[in-house]
Amino acid sequence: MQRRTFIQNTGLLTAALSTTGTELLARSAPVTAARNKLPKWKGFNLLDFFSPDPAKSRKGTTEDHLKWMQDWGFDFVRLPMAYPYYLKFDRSRNITPDEVYQIDPRAVDRIDELVTMAHKHNLHVSLNLHRAPGYCVNAGFHEPYNLWTDQAALDAFCFHWNMWAKRYKNVSAKKISFDLLNEPGMRADMNDQHSKRGSVPGEVYRKVALAASEAIWKENKNHLIIADGNDTGSSVIPSIADLNIAQSCRGYNPGTISHYKAPWANKDPEHLPEPKWPGQVGDKYLSRAMLETFYQPWIELVNKGVGVHCGECGCWNKTPHDVFLAWFGDVLDILSKNGIGFALWEFIGDFGILNSGRADVAYEDWHGYKLDRKLLELIRKV
């Protein structure tokens, strides 16, 4: 599996946006020490629609899976979607800009079925474009343009979000949210995974986020919108902090722990220093203190009145289990103490609580799945 700054706005716009989803939720959200405008949701990413090609999708989430989540006390699922998944076009060649608008109603219905089923089990659903027209943190599907530089891509991006907003026009912000774009970043070539990378300039991020948000709010001014942090989810976005848009951080720091030996994240995955927590790993001493420093800007954002959630977190299955749990316990404790919820990447699979494929876990049989009970209990208790 592959995974992957403030331009002041007019007072009129701020007033116009003052009754959108995050404020709606703030009225009903539990009061926390950090006064997070978002509820402290906790749950999972579900990867049913993660692949651009439906024929290559993994086995779908079942109602039993959602019932287990509910029974275990979870209340949130994030659906990272690749927009080509729900399009009709000739997949034997590269997609054209015109074809980006060719919605496949049957594929959209399949997504809606999972949304409806999750709502049945009292799970908030966050729809996310993991791959949007003109951008994905991962290559692997040929994009016809660049979201950050091409108006045609931005127009298509807004079209897609307006479609989803319209479909859920009458659904409460307590039940659904719209996570605009997974892990934004600049890349010189959208179709070259290893081309030069950098931060999205603040004014560019604001333009894209505001355009998509307006396309969503056109259908329902109370729709709840979330924007992933800059620098592939790691940095707060000051340029949109005056807007009524929540922000999403990540729980993958440091990558030497979370992505140990991951081939898509390391140039030489087989020759890496053994991870420790806490401890000296290579030229760095890894500790809770570094996590406190990393999350401080996000905590400050919460205290400034911006809703924050950790849309993805977890650890690939090559990190020793005891190191993973020690590190992840610190990550979740820092988030939880500041009223920030989280979504584990993923439910079933290498990062998940079921069938993670770790070689050093005494799994418990769970209805035919291999359950990592220690990880489950860790994420349940925060």
- Provide the pLDDT for residue 21: 57
Domain for residue 25, yes or no? no
**Is the pLDDT at 6 greater than 50, yes or no?**
no
Domain for residue 32, yes or no? no
Domain for residue 27, yes or no? no
The confidence band for 14, taking pLDDT boundaries of 50, 70 and 90, is: very low
Domain for residue 100, yes or no? yes
The confidence band for 33, taking pLDDT boundaries of 50, 70 and 90, is: low
- Provide the pLDDT for residue 24: 46
Return left, alpha or beta for 137; rule: phi > 0 is left, psi -120 to 50 is alpha, else beta.
alpha
Residue 299 contacts residue 324 (beta carbons within 8 Å): no
What percentage of the chain carries pLDDT values higher than 70? Answer: 91
Q: Please choose, from the candidates 336, 333, 330, the residue with its C-alpha nearest in 3D space to the C-alpha of residue 257.
A: 330
- Alpha carbons 65 and 49: distance in angstroms, whole number: 16
- Alpha carbons 135 and 370: distance in angstroms, whole number: 35
**Is the pLDDT at 360 greater than 80, yes or no?**
yes
Beta bridge partners of 280: 285
Domain for residue 228, yes or no? yes
The confidence band for 323, taking pLDDT boundaries of 50, 70 and 90, is: very high
Domain for residue 36, yes or no? no
Q: How far is CA 37 from CA 88, 341, 366, in A?
A: 38, 11, 36
- Alpha carbons 135 and 153: distance in angstroms, whole number: 9
- Alpha carbons 335 and 331: distance in angstroms, whole number: 6
The confidence band for 194, taking pLDDT boundaries of 50, 70 and 90, is: confident
Domain hosting 76: range is 42-381
In this predicted model, what pLDDT tens digit does every residue of 152-189 receive, in sequence order?
A: 999 999 999 999 999 999 999 999 999 999 999 999 99
In this predicted model, what pLDDT tens digit does every residue of 241-260 receive, in sequence order?
A: 999 999 999 999 999 999 99
When pLDDT is averaged across residues 87-106 and rounded to a whole number, the result is 97
- Provide the pLDDT for residue 204: 98
Q: Please choose, from the candidates 156, 147, 128, the residue with its C-alpha nearest in 3D space to the C-alpha of residue 50.
A: 128
- Provide the pLDDT for residue 164: 98
Give exposure, 120-145, as e/b (b: 16+ Cβ within 10 Å): ebebbbbbbbbbbbbbbbbbebebbb
**Is the pLDDT at 126 greater than 50, yes or no?**
yes
| Structure tokens, 292 | 């406190």
Q: How far is CA 357 from CA 189, 265, 277, 374, in A?
A: 34, 19, 21, 14
**Is the pLDDT at 75 greater than 90, yes or no?**
yes
What is the overall mean pLDDT for the chain? Answer: 92
Domain for residue 29, yes or no? no
In this predicted model, what pLDDT tens digit does every residue of 263-305 receive, in sequence order?
A: 988 889 899 999 999 999 999 999 999 999 999 999 999 999 9
When pLDDT is averaged across residues 348-352 and rounded to a whole number, the result is 98
Number of domains within the chain: 1
CATH code, domain carrying 329:
3.20.20.80
pTM above 0.85, yes or no: yes
- Provide the pLDDT for residue 301: 97
| Structure tokens, 344 | 């584990």
Residue 95 contacts by C-beta under 8 Å, 6 or more apart in sequence? 84, 87, 89, 141, 142, 143, 144
- Provide the pLDDT for residue 265: 86
Q: Please choose, from the candidates 134, 139, 64, 140, the residue with its C-alpha nearest in 3D space to the C-alpha of residue 100.
A: 134
Domain for residue 346, yes or no? yes
When pLDDT is averaged across residues 191-197 and rounded to a whole number, the result is 89
